[in-house]
Each structure stands twice: as structure tokens, then as C-alpha cells.
Structure 1
Amino acid sequence: MSTTEPAHVTNFLRTIVEDDLKSGKHRTIVTRFPPEPNGYLHIGHAKSICLNFGLARDFGGRCHLRFDDTNPVKEETEYIESIKESVRWLGFEWGEHCYYASDYFEQLYQWAESLIIQGKAYVDDLTADEIRSYRGTLTEPGKESPSRSRTAEENLDLFRRMRAGEFPDGAKVLRARIDMASPNINLRDPVMYRILHAPHPHAGDKWCIYPMYDYAHGQSDAIEGITHSICTLEFEDHKPLYEWFLDNLPVPNRPRQYEFARLNLTYAVMSKRKLLQLVKDGDVTGWDDPRMPTIMGIRRRGFTPEAIRNFCDTIGVGRSDSWIDMSILEESVRQDLNERAPRVMAVLRPLRLVIENYPEGATEDLTIAYHPQRPDLGSRSVPFGRELFIERDDFMEVPPKGFKRLSPGEEIRLRGAYIVKCTGVERDGEGNVTTVRCTYDPETRSGLPGSERKVKGVIHWVSATHAVTAEVRLYDRLFTVPNPSGDDWKELLNPLSVEIVRDCRLEPSLALARPEDRFQFERQGYFCADRVDSQPGAPVFNRTVTLRDSWAKK
């Protein structure tokens, strides 16, 4: 587990843990992060990961990684491995404490038999639709199933035959016998087991009946000795059922459930079902598409684990649901990368610039620092010559008032190099500017005594002879509205969520960029070498975030 994190801001869960340790209720706290492996983790899970692992770290306890793998139809080994990788990337380790609910299936089955013997569970023949119709509403009590009157002996025989595979999928279920008139619908004889003749990614072909999450979850906590079972608020109504099972089973430990508000992030969806639909429908390139709010997606985009942990600290832990604006997450990333990302020069939409009075064939190497406030990051050599590329937007023939870049007759400074003055342009047959012609002042090389003559603007550039040609992907928000909900939520996808620019010109040092190396492209934003598509000498860059919040006034 990471040991470099500072103490987190106090919240109600930290207060509970502190009080439990001080009172002697627990000598060691044990938390768990219990994802179902039916998809990739998203930024909402990151909050839970930081909370559970962070509490254990800060109070000298331990946090288990447990896969609540009770539904083999939706779960895959790929998801298990991606979850492990995501947790590690965020900076946390579980050591020997990686568990699977499926490892407890035999114990869960034996406990289910004990409920049957006590008369507190029964095998039901109703279909799923019939069970829903019998359950009642929030204002009307449910109706008892005809199977509810079966004897313990009959139920035990049927349950064992269910395990033996005698019945097809959906033919029978095991239900807890609680109270069909309870005001809490979760207590109206909930289903404990269903029949699924399907192989399990961890348990193999051993089982054809599988426990429901509500039954397996609390008992798994008890088996592992969890002291603080922390979950999101949507499970608050399930808490009485969680406790009912603990009250009626001979569990070795009595965990306590606590709820906190989940993370709702604007311009994103957090439903695994919706994220899976985006993947299956081809709206994104996969679970790790840099536009996705999955941990693997934001990692590929260039977000840092430090920024994510800081973001989770910033938004805090409470019990009131709220929406967190995407700009807060983006600002956490900016702040982190501003401190650590080397500054480099990249021209995304190149326009040729020729310096007429610079010697033909000559090249000089300019030493330019990687970061103005981080001398420890060092510097690099950037070749300079007669022909350069500048950003097309950095030249205008008829500039508006206040334009501080290059235009006819005006001077600007080339970053880390010389002052140049525009003397003319060249055009193609359609009248488009293809080349800007300039002269330079050789006495104005940056860093030399007396060279810092003031001009109105500074622009970046790369040597046309030495530039690296690369693909750059300009990512933006996946949706056009803050809360993409409703039946037509996919119609709210942002058609401009990615722009792929394939003829970008980068300074030569970027040819050596390794996957996940992060940079600030000067005046452009923060970028990351793609961890999937970058190759040695041929990097592909993803825009992580712009230098400023471009959505602030939308």
C-alpha cells in the first residue's frame, strides 16, 4: 500500500474510525474495495479506492481487494486484470489480501442450508416477472408466494437438487423468508440464489447456482473480518437486509456498513451498463478510450494518479449526493502537470516560415530549459535553421486589434531563439498562404547579454529540417451537456470529442518520448505519449487537458 500520502482532510468516516480505535472497539481496522468484475473501473470507483485504501493506510490497518464475482454471465477475466491494474496505478497495494466471493461459495451454500433448516429460507417456483408482481409497491404490501408454505425438508431437498443441476435456468430460486409486508421492499423475501448453468471466470464449472450480491456481500465481509464496510448511498436501503443475514447466520465476525455519497461527474456517464453500450456500439474505441471516464481511459489520456488522488481529497467525503463539475477534475490535472511536465515545442497545424537573411544550410543548437521554475528537470538542445514551422494560427495578414503574433511588417520573438520580422508571404494557386518570409536580428538570440529586446509577442516553432512528424489526438469532453440522462442520452454525445491531426511537427527531442511520458506543448496544453499506439521513434500524443478551461463560458 502507498505510504507517501499526506494525512487526508477529516470526514465523518475518519471520525468514526478514530472513535472506534480510541474506544477499543477495534484494535485494527479492516476495509475492503469490492468491485464486481463486470466492466472497467471508472473515476467514481477511484473515490472509493482512495477512501478505503486511504483509511487503512492512515490508521495502520489493511484494505482487501475483493472481487464480488457472483454473476458469471457478466464477468470476465479481462475485467479482473484491469481492476488490479487500475488499483495499482492509483498507488495502492493489497499484498496477500486479494479475495474472491466465489472462494466462499461453499460456506455461503452451507449457511443458506442453515436458513432453510431454521425455516427462514424457501425454494420458490415463481418466475422473475411473477416475483416482481408479487413484491408490491412502496405504498402496497407484497403478496406471499404459494411456495412459501413448503416445509424445511421439502426446501432442503429442492435446494440440493438445484445445486445438483436438475433444474433449468429460471426454474427455481431460493428466497429468504422475511416479511412481505415490510415497508422496505428489500426485505420482502429477497432472492438469495438463482440457477445459472454458466462457467465462472474464477470458479470454473463447479457451480450451477449462484448467490445474489445482497446475500454474498455481507457474509464475505464477515468471513474476511471486515470492520468497516463502506459503500455508496444507494445501498443504504439494503442495510437492513445486510444486518438481517448477519443476525440469522453463525458468522465469525460482525462488520458494520457505512454509506457515503457517490461521485457524480458532469459531462460523463458513470453507469457500467451505459459505458459497456458505448463500447459495444463503437461510439468509443474501447474501455480505455481516452474520452471514457474509466481509470484506464483517463490514464491513457495522460491524467496522473497523483492528480486523481488530489481530486478525491478535494471533493471530500459526505452523505449528500451532488454533482462535481468536470472542470474541477481537469484543474487538478493542470495543477499537477504544471509542476512536473517538461515544456516542449510542437506545431499542430504547420505553416512554413523562411528566414531570408539566415545562412542557407546552417544550423545552430539552442539550449532551452524544460521548465522555467524547475532547473532540476534540465534542458535540451533544439536545432534552429533557416526554415521553420510555426502554428498556422500564429500568422494573420490582416490581424485584429491586439493581435500579438506575426503579421506583415511586425516583429515577434521565436521562443528561446531570435526576433523575426515578417517581410512577405508566398501563396498557392488558390491564394492560400503557404510560406511566411521573415528576416531575423542576429543580436537577439535568447540568453545572450543584451539580447532581450522587447517585442509584443512570443511564439513557438520547430526546425523544418529536423522536426518529427507525428499524430496528435485532441480530446475533449465526451458529452455536450453536463447531465447526459434520459432515453436519448446517446444523442448527447459530443461529435467534436476527438480531432485527429496527422501532420503535426514536433521538436526532435520528442522522438524519444516513451509511452505515458507527459509534456506541456507550449501554448497548446498538456499532452501524453499514447501508451497503446506510440512506437519507438514514432510517438502518438493525446491531449490530456488544455492550458485553460475552454468550457468555462459555454
Structure 2
Amino acid sequence: MSQVDNEVRPSNFIRNIIDEDLKSGKHDSVHTRFPPEPNGFLHIGHAKSICLNFGIAKDYQGQCNLRFDDTNPEKEDIDYVHSIQDDVRWLGFDWAGEIRYSSNYFDQLHQYALELINKGLAYVCFLNAEETREYRGTLKEPGKNSPYRDTSVEENLALFEKMRLGEFKEGECALRAKIDMASPFMCMRDPVIYRIRFAHHHQTADKWCIYPMYDFTHCISDAIENITHSLCTLEFQDNRRLYDWVLDHLDDFNQPNRTRQYEFSRLNLEYTLMSKRKLNDLVERNLVNGWDDPRMPTIAGLRRRGYTPASIREFCQRIGVTKQENLIEGGVLDACIREELNEHAPRAMAVLKPIKVIIENYPSDSPETINAPMHPNKPEMGTRELAFGKELFIDAEDFRESANKHFKRLVLGKEVRLRNAYVIKAERFDQDEDGNVTTVYCTYDNETLGKNPSDGRKVKGVIHWVEASTAKQAEFRLYNRLFTEATPAAFDTVDEVINPESLVVVNGVVEAGLVNAEVEKAYQFEREGYFCADNKDSTAEHLVFNLTVPLRDSFA
């Protein structure tokens, strides 16, 4: 266990490292960072990193920066910058000081590149992309030195200046670090650290036509910001050698207490893709309705579906932080939101497949008002008013002409209780030409309002309902897994595993009070599941509810 912020919290290898660094005096405080590239929307995998970096900073009373690693202007957009800020805040975190951008350091990064050139540790290379791959070698064969590797310092300085001034075409040359073409680690075989891009940048406009590579930028940005623990996912494990090499060879940063990189396992979740490229492909091919489609694992999609910040934070806490790659069961995330909503979501009634019920002995054509609890176990949440009248809607699945003893709903000639209301008895029914039940004619017992009928009659079944004259029409979007296989990334194309029934739309009715349902706020539609009003399409005139999660684990 780790002692932080006057609390004992579950430990992990990163917290153990931090505890030791603080104990030894290597660092007197903790400073982390969350460094997204603004080239797409954040997803649940990023949420794990957000919770880790911001959570550690909070627990150790330290700081966490939000820094955009914006070194590839061709794929970046200011809209992504704004959406990422919204996602971080929505998850319940805030960053230290102003937002940072790697582009803030472009002048310094240029000077550090010049320092490496002056030390004979970087050179301008004119091999084209195909030649560079050929010279690089393979995992089994060492690479070969570029013919430009031994260019003099003076000439490299002049060539790099011509690159900066835009006197070479894109792809004509690049600045490479001079490390070791025989290294067993491919990232150390003279990696490119600057390339030419004639692209407008969302922060620096057209000031630069050369842009530093991520691996060169990231470590220096960490060092400039005095980050103590740079936390990355395991795919950057080999790149740590380059991270250290760059800082070891720059005079400003070659010191014992400088930043260090530590890697943890990325999040792999069943029935989910985590690759931005593959998620973008889903969007571009209209296999989903945008980045915030509730079937997407993006934070925007989860938010639109009704997931809460607390449930996502709890999920990240449960899966833990390790160095071992694993595949998280899809039900773990659902369990987190289901447990929270069971505790806190107000109850309401909705009928997704409505058929009419007419109570023939109901004495009035005008509905009465019944008070029902907002939550059965939380009287402090108050009550809501339900209209009850002669005509109601119930779900088509809740009526049978005949059924065995296991069917505890409405059966012809038998009784059932309406949730929070009366006991009714089915007397007869109408069907359409296809044999579908359209209307059930019932009688009711006006002495049975509430949970404890005065006559002590025991009725096994309870069904939900909505009064017809006050019912509001609603569209229900029933979301399921986007993929039919637990590991969709293992297939050549998503077309093989895309789930054709990942979204089913039905039209039904809800109780009148839901016309004012707050978007993104989940309700338990009794006996149906947890739903929330869609944050884009739902209006008072056209209610749209998204299925957040079923009442029971659909992954079981």
C-alpha cells in the first residue's frame, strides 16, 4: 500500500517508484503531464492515462500539466484541442497553470538540434524514404551508415539552415541523430529528428517549415517543464532509449534528477478498437455516426451514451496499473456504470413496444394523479407525479393469451400489478390482421393502489406502464457491441466483425415528466435498462433516449 495525501491507497509499481524517489530526496515533489496529440478525439484508453497522471499528481499534492504534442500540423486541428480540454475537465481533472504546447518550445528545440549538430551527433541526410528503409536494416540484420553520415559539422549547419528557410522540398532531406546503425533497437538506428513540412500550424501559423519529430520533442518538453515522472504506455518502451539519449547529450538536461520515462500497459478492452487510425476509418466510412457516436469508445461517445465521469474513474481504478498487457472483459466497464446508476439514477417508466390497455371499469375519462418514488430505496430523492387513467400503454412482451407459471406478467383471465398503481385483470383482447395484439381490455380493483393491497391479495407479477393521454412519444436507440468478436483488431478488416445490430431504433412512449429530461443524465427505465436523453438530437418536441447499459450484464 502507498501512503499519499494522508490516505492509504492501493499501490502499483509507479507509486512504488515515486515513493522511493521522494524518500531518497531525488525529487521533493511530483510533476506529471498528460501529452495528447491533437489529431483525434480521446478514448477510454486515454482516460486511463488521464486518471493515472492527474490522479497521481493529486494524490501526492503535486502538479499535472496538459501539453499538446503538436508536431504534425497536417493531421492536427484546433477542434481537437478544444475537445480534449473538455474531456479532461468532464472527467473531473484540471491542469497546472496554462495549457502547454510542444510548439511553445519550437525555438528551443531548434537550438537543441543545433547543439547536437555542433557536437557531431546529428546530420542532414538526403536518402529518400525507400533508401532510408533499405539502409535501416531489419530486426535480424544491422543497418548501414548513410553516405551523408560523415558530413562535416559546418556543412550540416548550413544544410539545416537551408531546411529551415524552405530551400528544400518535402521529403528531399531530413535531420537525423547520429547514434548506432547496428543497434538491436530500431529506434536507435539514426532516427529522424526533424523533417520538412510546408503546412500551416494551428499555433505557430507559417513560421516554420521544419517540424521536430515526436521522440525528439517529447523528452525535451518534459525536461523543460521539469516533469519528474513521464508516464507512457508500453509501446514506447524501446523509445525510452532514445528519450534518454537525447537528454544525456544536451548540456541543459544531463543531470541526475532529470525526468525519467516509465511505461505501463495500455488499455485493451474486449469488443473495442483503440487505434485512432482504425477509429477514424469507422468515422470516414460512415460505419458509425461520428466520433461521438455512443457505440464509439471515445470519451465523447461514452458521455453521450450516459456514462458518468465517476464510473470511468472507477473503471480505471479497478483495472489497475501494471506492466503486463492484458485484455479487460467488456463487462467490467458496464459494471462500473451499472453500479453507480443503480445507486443514484432516478426511476421512470417507458414503454418501448407499446400496446393499448383499456380499463373498462375505470370510472372517469380524466386521469388521476399518483405519487411514485424517484428511487425505491432513497426517499430523500423525493417523488414524481404519474397520471393514471382509463387508457394505458404496456409493453407487448408483457401480455400473453396463455402462459406457464414462470410468466409473471399479464395473462388473459389473470391479474398483474401495475408498478406504483393498481391491480388489473385481463378480460379480452384485439388483434390485427397479422395476429399481433393491439388492445387488451381489463378491469381494475380500485382498492389496490400502492404496494400493499387492503385485501391482502398476492399478485406475483409487476409490470410498467404509461398513461395514454399524457404519454410522450420517444425514440429509443438500443446500443449493443459494435463488433461481434472480442478482439476486432486481430482481423484484417472491421467489415468481417462489424455488428449489424449494434444499433436498433424503436419508437415508444415515456411518462410525461421526461419531456424535461436533462441530457446525459441517466434514468432507470423500470424493467428496461438505464437510458439518457441524447445530447445532440433530443428535444422537447422529439425525445431521443440512448441505452446506457442494460439492467443485467450483457457480456455474461
TM range (shorter): over 0.9
Corresponding residue for 1:180?
Answer: 181
- 1:348–1:504 Cα contact (<8 Å) kept: yes
Report the alpha carbon displacement of residue 490 of structure 1 after superposing the two structures with TM.
2.9
Report the alpha carbon displacement of residue 11 of structure 1 after superposing the two structures with TM.
1.0
Corresponding residue for 2:170?
Answer: 169
CA distance in 1, matches of 2:108, 2:455: 79
Q: Does 1:273 align with 2:277?
A: yes
Q: Does 1:492 align with 2:501?
A: no
* Change in 2 beyond 3 A, CA 1:100/1:345: same
After superposing on structure 2, the runs of 4+ consecutive aligned residues of structure 1 that deviate more than 3 Å are: 3-8
CA distance in 2, matches of 1:495, 1:332: 26
Which ranges of structure 2 fall in alignment gaps of 5 or more residues?
none
Q: Superposition pairs for residues 468-479 of structure 1, below 5 Å?
A: 468-479=472-483
- 1:173–1:195 Cα contact (<8 Å) kept: yes
Corresponding residue for 1:304?
Answer: 308
CA distance in 2, matches of 1:251, 1:88: 34
CA distance in 2, matches of 1:416, 1:5: 47
Report the alpha carbon displacement of residue 299 of structure 1 after superposing the two structures with TM.
0.6
For the residue of structure 2 that corresponds to 1:352, the secondary structure is strand
Report the alpha carbon displacement of residue 4 of structure 1 after superposing the two structures with TM.
12
Report the alpha carbon displacement of residue 172 of structure 1 after superposing the two structures with TM.
0.5
Q: Superposition pairs for residues 181-196 of structure 1, below 5 Å?
A: 181-196=182-197
Corresponding residue for 1:54?
Answer: 55
For the residue of structure 2 that corresponds to 1:443, the secondary structure is coil
For the residue of structure 2 that corresponds to 1:425, the secondary structure is strand
Listed one character per residue, the Cα deviations across residues 358-409 of structure 1 (whole Å, up to 9, x for unaligned) are: 0241321110001111111111010000000001100112324411111111
Task: Tell me which amino acid in the other structure corresponds to 1:492.
Answer: V
Q: Superposition pairs for residues 355-504 of structure 1, below 5 Å?
A: 355-446=359-450, 450=454, 453-484=457-488, 485-501=490-506, 503-504=507-508
CA distance in 2, matches of 1:452, 1:133: 86
Corresponding residue for 2:317?
Answer: 313
Report the alpha carbon displacement of residue 450 of structure 1 after superposing the two structures with TM.
2.1
For the residue of structure 1 that corresponds to 2:217, the secondary structure is helix
CA distance in 2, matches of 1:450, 1:4: 56
CA distance in 2, matches of 1:403, 1:375: 31
Listed one character per residue, the Cα deviations across residues 310-360 of structure 1 (whole Å, up to 9, x for unaligned) are: 011101000000000111000111001111100110001101001111024
Task: Tell me which amino acid in the other structure corresponds to 1:384.
Answer: F
Q: Does 1:242 align with 2:246?
A: no
Identity of aligned residues (%): 56
- 1:291–1:476 Cα contact (<8 Å) kept: yes
CA distance in 1, matches of 2:21, 2:423: 67
Corresponding residue for 2:298?
Answer: 294
Q: Superposition pairs for residues 7-406 of structure 1, below 5 Å?
A: 8-252=9-253, 254-406=258-410
Report the alpha carbon displacement of residue 536 of structure 1 after superposing the two structures with TM.
3.5
Which ranges of structure 1 fall in alignment gaps of 5 or more residues?
none
* Change in 2 beyond 3 A, CA 1:8/1:78: farther
- 1:219–1:251 Cα contact (<8 Å) kept: no
Report the alpha carbon displacement of residue 127 of structure 1 after superposing the two structures with TM.
1.0
> Equivalent of 1:505, from 504, 509, 512?
509
CA distance in 2, matches of 1:401, 1:129: 73
Corresponding residue for 1:532?
Answer: 536
For the residue of structure 2 that corresponds to 1:282, the secondary structure is coil
For the aligned residues, what is the CA RMSD? 1.6
* Change in 2 beyond 3 A, CA 1:131/1:356: same
Listed one character per residue, the Cα deviations across residues 89-118 of structure 1 (whole Å, up to 9, x for unaligned) are: 100001424100011011000110111111
Deviates more, 1:10-19 or 1:48-57: 10-19
Listed one character per residue, the Cα deviations across residues 188-237 of structure 1 (whole Å, up to 9, x for unaligned) are: 10000110000011211111110110100000000000000000111111
- 2:330–2:555 Cα contact (<8 Å) kept: no
**TM-score, with normalisation over the residues of structure 1?**
0.97
- 1:8–1:313 Cα contact (<8 Å) kept: no
CA distance in 2, matches of 1:48, 1:490: 30
Task: Tell me which amino acid in the other structure corresponds to 2:56.
Answer: L
Task: Tell me which amino acid in the other structure corresponds to 1:399.
Answer: A
CA distance in 2, matches of 1:473, 1:493: 18
Deviates more, 1:435-444 or 1:421-430: 421-430
Task: Tell me which amino acid in the other structure corresponds to 2:478.
Answer: L
CA distance in 2, matches of 1:472, 1:4: 45
- 1:445–1:451 Cα contact (<8 Å) kept: no
For the residue of structure 1 that corresponds to 2:115, the secondary structure is helix
- 2:64–2:96 Cα contact (<8 Å) kept: no
Report the alpha carbon displacement of residue 456 of structure 1 after superposing the two structures with TM.
1.6
Report the alpha carbon displacement of residue 429 of structure 1 after superposing the two structures with TM.
3.3
Deviates more, 1:443-452 or 1:115-124: 443-452
- 1:514–1:539 Cα contact (<8 Å) kept: no
* Change in 2 beyond 3 A, CA 1:5/1:346: farther
For the residue of structure 2 that corresponds to 1:148, the secondary structure is coil
CA distance in 2, matches of 1:518, 1:470: 15
CA distance in 2, matches of 1:70, 1:528: 38
* Change in 2 beyond 3 A, CA 1:5/1:74: farther
Task: Tell me which amino acid in the other structure corresponds to 1:152.
Answer: V
Task: Tell me which amino acid in the other structure corresponds to 2:12.
Answer: N
For the residue of structure 2 that corresponds to 1:444, the secondary structure is coil
Report the alpha carbon displacement of residue 460 of structure 1 after superposing the two structures with TM.
0.2
* Change in 2 beyond 3 A, CA 1:167/1:258: same
Task: Tell me which amino acid in the other structure corresponds to 1:381.
Answer: E
CA distance in 2, matches of 1:520, 1:451: 31
CA distance in 1, matches of 2:169, 2:470: 68
Task: Tell me which amino acid in the other structure corresponds to 2:549.
Answer: V
- 1:29–1:61 Cα contact (<8 Å) kept: yes
Report the alpha carbon displacement of residue 27 of structure 1 after superposing the two structures with TM.
1.2
CA distance in 2, matches of 1:4, 1:462: 50
Paired residue total:
549
Task: Tell me which amino acid in the other structure corresponds to 2:163.
Answer: M
Report the alpha carbon displacement of residue 449 of structure 1 after superposing the two structures with TM.
6.5
* Change in 2 beyond 3 A, CA 1:60/1:545: same
Report the alpha carbon displacement of residue 514 of structure 1 after superposing the two structures with TM.
1.8
Report the alpha carbon displacement of residue 482 of structure 1 after superposing the two structures with TM.
0.2
Deviates more, 1:536-545 or 1:297-306: 536-545
CA distance in 1, matches of 2:204, 2:455: 72
